[in-house]
Amino acid sequence: MESGTPLDIDCEPGGVHTGNVLPLLHEIKHALQRWLETGEPGMIDLRSIPMAPGEEDELISVLGEGEVHARLSALGPSDIYETRYPGVWLVTHYNDNEEIMSRFIEVIDMPSILKSQADDVHDGQERLAAQLGEPD
């Protein structure tokens, strides 16, 4: 999709549509603007919004994939990737059978799940010091 090209939203042919894809894209646009102006991050729980078959896939297709993709393995696998719109992230959590358990759009510089937690950093520093034979 080229910059400035109007969207052509087309979910499953002949299916029933909720019409939520375009409003969600507007909500994401406003969340980006709010984040840029105030630093307030935004989050949309895609599983809490009624969507007809194919609409979530259409939304994800319109958002596209950017340059950053991470796969986490903590309490089940998670995929995190920045969309083609910097600052807009798709975060998907799976169970052990790779079934989607939750899916979020986050508008922020980096999703919190990717940030190191202070306790983990402290533990890592202690382990590295111990490996180097240094006292605490």
What are the pLDDT digits (tens) for 13-23? 445 567 889 99
Domains and CATH numbers, the chain: 21-131 (3.30.1370.140)
**pLDDT at site 17:** 63
CA neighbours within 13 Å on the CB side: how many for 9?
A: 18
What is the C-alpha end-to-end distance of the chain, expressed in Å? 54
What integer pLDDT is reported at residue 8 of this predicted model?
52
In whole angstroms, what is the distance from residue 54 CA to residue 59 CA? 9
Please count the other Cβ atoms lying within 10 Å of the Cβ belonging to residue 111. 20
3-state secondary structure 86-129: CCEEEEEEECCCCCEEEEEEEECCCCHHHCCCHHHHHHHHHHHH
Measure Cα distances from 104 to 1, 71, 79, 129 in Å. 22, 15, 11, 37
Q: Output 135 or 51, whichever has higher pLDDT.
A: 51
Percentage of residues of the chain with pLDDT beyond 70: 87
pLDDT the model gives residue 109: 94
Measured CA to CA, the distance from residue 125 to residue 132 in angstroms comes to: 11
The whole-number pLDDT of residue 62 equals 94
What pLDDT is stored for residue 7 in this prediction?
A: 53
- What pTM did the predictor assign? 0.80
Q: Residue 125: which pLDDT band, with cuts at 50, 70 and 90?
A: very high
The chain-wide mean pLDDT, for the chain, equals: 87
Q: How far, in Å, CA of 114 to CA of 20, rounded?
A: 29
Question: pLDDT, tens digit, for every residue of 48-85?
Answer: 998 888 899 999 999 999 999 999 987 789 999 999 99
